[in-house]
Structure 1
Amino acid sequence: MDKLLLIIKREYLARVTRPSFIIATLVTPLVFVLFFVVVGFIFSSESDDTKKIAVVDESSILKGALKDEKGIFFRFENQPLETLRSKFKSSGYDAILVLPPIGDMFSKDYIVYYYSKGQPTLDVEVHIKDRVRDALRDYKIDQLRLDRKQLKALNTSVDLEPEPIEKGGQDATRLTSKIGAAIGTIMGFFMYMAVFIYGSMVMRSVMEEKTNRIVEVMVSSVKPFQMMMGKIIGVGAVGLTQVLIWAIMIPVLMTIAQVAMGFDAEQQMKMSQGASNLNPEDTQAMIIAAMAEIGNVNWWLILPLFVIYFLGGYFLYSSMFAAVGSAVGDDMGEAQTLTIPIVIPVVLAIYIMIKAVESPTSSLSVFASIFPLFSPIVMPAILTAKPPAWQIITSVLVLIGTSIFFVWLSGRIYRVGILLYGKKGTFKEFAKWIFYKE
């Protein structure tokens, strides 16, 4: 145990004190925030291109009014289309928009014609189609002499409010499933990233020590299995340290960036309300309900289980990465080939997780939440859906047992591969190494 602790300490301190680790840990949140700022700037910026469009409204659908917006300016013309086309070069217009007469009021299709030297840009096309569609609807309402109030009454919003079947049962709201799905998806993706990032880190560390032949010195006083476990635990501790630092730095830097950019949360909320036609009071009530739902989540069960699945998934996959690292030297191409069977279950698990969040009680979700290669990613994503106790217990026991088995199996491969040079590791060789005697 003392030797194992020494290896863990060495792995941890050797990595956290590296300039590359310190720089990466401090720079990554800055890059993330910079990316957020740049993306925000891109989406907030508007085109500086201006378009002056002549409108020929043959049926007076638009009634001489079309709102100028985002650098697009409309001018209604009473001249024939051919006259406008002949004078197009000297007119100063960039395009001519023609709205032909409506032959059938009950037709669902209507084509407008856009004359210009080139194709209309996407923003211009969307703007014109939206405005003409709204105007066409109003025009048809007037021509068909329909009652606007009655038509407005046809637009009904339907919500599903869950209720317990038994009196006194736990009540839920329409946001319960949505909040649970969001939390589950975040947890699943975090597991997905952790398995890839820190598992690969273990593999690179093993490859580095084997290439530098440091392992030959260490193996004289430490068993290979202790070396592998020390490396896995040490790298895992490094990863947790990095995640904790990021968890503190990213929110702080995001807040500073928002203040520096003059981001007004209240104004942004008003803009989003205006875009979606929501009542501000309804929006505020929805936010309060969402916060209440987050508070009602059984975090005392979910967080401990998340830690169990994180550790189980990390030990399971990182031990396999360590076994691959011991079987190859500095050939990353060979290492990538051998890691394909490890990567495939992880990738499949993320796709299954997406479906499991939508339908947590399906046969696929239940199977994937128990199958140990999928459960570290799938089960955390459906914990908010409150799976039955037998499913959680079975999943945890199977994951723990499988993790122990894979650590033992990888240790058998590691003890041979770490001291083997000049011979490429293959899956056939791995099978032989497992049964080698001490």
Structure 2
Amino acid sequence: MSTAATRTAGPDHLWTVDEHLEDILATVRPLDPIELHLLDAQGCVLVEDVTVPVSLPPFDNSSMDGYAVRVTDVAGASEEYPAVLTVIGDVAAGQAESLHVGPGETARIMTGAPLPPGAEAVVPVEWTDGGLGEGPVTGMRARSQSPEGAGGHVHVYRSAEARAHVRAQGSDVKAGDRALEAGTVLGPPQIALLAAIGRGTVRVRPRPRVVVMSTGSELVQPDEQLGNGQIYDSNSFALTAAARDAGAIAYRVGAVADDAETLRSTIEDQLVRADLMVTTGGVSVGAYDVVKEALSSVGDEDEEGAGIDFRKLAMQPGKPQGFGSIGPDHIPLLALPGNPVSSYVSFELFVRPAIRTLMGLDDVHRPRTRATLTADKALTSPKGRRQFLRGTYADGAVTPVGGAGSHLVAALALADALIVVPENVESVEPGTEVDVVLLG
């Protein structure tokens, strides 16, 4: 069924998982690019190739603390017959003017300092007497020399080949090379490279802002005292953490009571900081499921395409779902079920791909694989429903964790995979190969 057809499906239409996901991804669009400073761009996706303006390193430099020498001056040097060179000065990292190393001469050089003209290699300080006439040094006694560095001699006890301990100009990247390509997610190494080539800002798609709120008068915040009939609000914490894990900047609103007006005003207040909104709870057919009532009049529904569609999906857990857009800016909203496992599975299947689409990523889905089912007995699944069971995956095998109940948070905490049982399969025997969604 096409997206256009599913959008006009009647209230009794039983959506497939694929139809619902197709509708979401056909509606959500990548965020517009912006220019950000490097640290603000962490976790964002590049929208253009970055070309290297200056080679790295920009000049030949030393990879060791030691002495810059001419190869012929240290040829054949040994413990018994050291090469004795005149020290003409020091070359430090960041030094603008360089010495010239002539025949029989050397310059003390620090790591990262430019190789002075005339020099062809660097001998580590450990291969010398450090200019003290005491045999090879094992530490950094060379630094006890005068600040100016000129004067005196150094004994070199080993020969060196040309370019030894020299980092060549452009040996990392050369000017004109492509440093990073569009579509790259900027992590610490990529930010380091951008800084190293002199880029202080970069053009990226920003991390989407996701607002998460749970609904239900029975919900109490952690650390508060539970009353009769109350439970702790775990969904808003789980989904906020999941949104951050997906790459978003996530804001947790917390639990909102079962009052349509309160929920409506809370959602309207949050629209200003949302690129995507996620609610959990209140999407079934119960008398107190106020999410439908509240979302029916949020923002500007008179605009074409606005509004939330509440659906039944052929899946377990997570049959009741809602999706649409709200407000004058048509902010996408996904309304998830309230049971903890249902909401988390729904997030992984529908919200995470939406977040990754907003980021501008090409691959928006969790990786999938085939694995051998290891279990004590056959798995059962309702006919006509695609079931997602929690499991642990290792070495090509997957083992169910806990039961099929959508309230089993403890079992969910142990799982790193979802076992997928297709709609047309009602039983899966141990040893059977199954599709697995990898969560870790």
**TM-score, normalised on structure 2?**
0.24
Q: Which has the higher strand share?
A: 2
Q: Which has the higher helix share?
A: 1
